[in-house]
């Protein structure tokens, strides 16, 4: 049996952690910027339908921004709960908690 340690995947986990953080911050900021542009277009437009459509777009985009921001946070909470719920003495290199510890270390 081959034992896999956290150090073997450290580079991949670091990249994945960086991408999670980038997505967590860049996507909501981008969505908020698009909301600002939609709001600007709605105020400068004389068409009532454009204003109504912009309002619904803004609400949807803000919900998307919140959800995308919270997904990595929820993953961290779930994995930390899994790691703390493991029985004592359970944490060898091929156990579930070692993967949880790796996740928590790089995310």
Are 86 and 97 in contact by the 8 Å Cβ rule? The answer is yes
Is 41 domain-assigned? yes
* String of DSSP letters for 4-60: --GGGGHHHHHHHHHHHHHHHHHHHHHHHHHHHHHHHHHHH---HHHHHHHHHHHHH
pLDDT on residue 95? 53
Q: What is the pTM of this model?
A: 0.62
29 to each of 17, 19, 38, 57, 63, how far by Cα in Å? Answer: 19, 15, 14, 15, 12
Tokens representing residue 98 in the block: 């070692």
Of 9-13, 43-47, 68-72, 97-101, the poorest mean pLDDT is in 97-101
Average pLDDT over residues 3-13: 71
In a domain, 20, yes or no: yes
- For the chain, the domain total comes to 1
Task: Report if residue 98 sits inside a domain.
Answer: yes
Residue range(s) defining the domain that contains residue 98? 12-106
* pLDDT tens digits along 49-100: 888 888 888 888 888 888 888 887 888 788 777 766 655 544 454 555 566 6
């Amino acid at each position: 049996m081959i034992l896999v340690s956290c150090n073997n995947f450290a580079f991949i986990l670091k990249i994945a952690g960086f991408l999670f953080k980038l997505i967590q911050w860049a996507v909501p900021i981008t969505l908020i910027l698009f909301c600002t542009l939609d709001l600007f277009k709605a105020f400068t437009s004389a068409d009532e339908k454009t204003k109504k459509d912009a309002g619904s777009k803004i609400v949807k985009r803000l919900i998307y921004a919140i959800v995308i921001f919270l997904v990595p946070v929820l993953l961290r909470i779930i994995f930390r709960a899994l790691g703390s719920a493991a029985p004592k003495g359970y944490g060898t290199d091929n156990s579930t908690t070692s993967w949880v510890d790796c996740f928590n270390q790089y995310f």
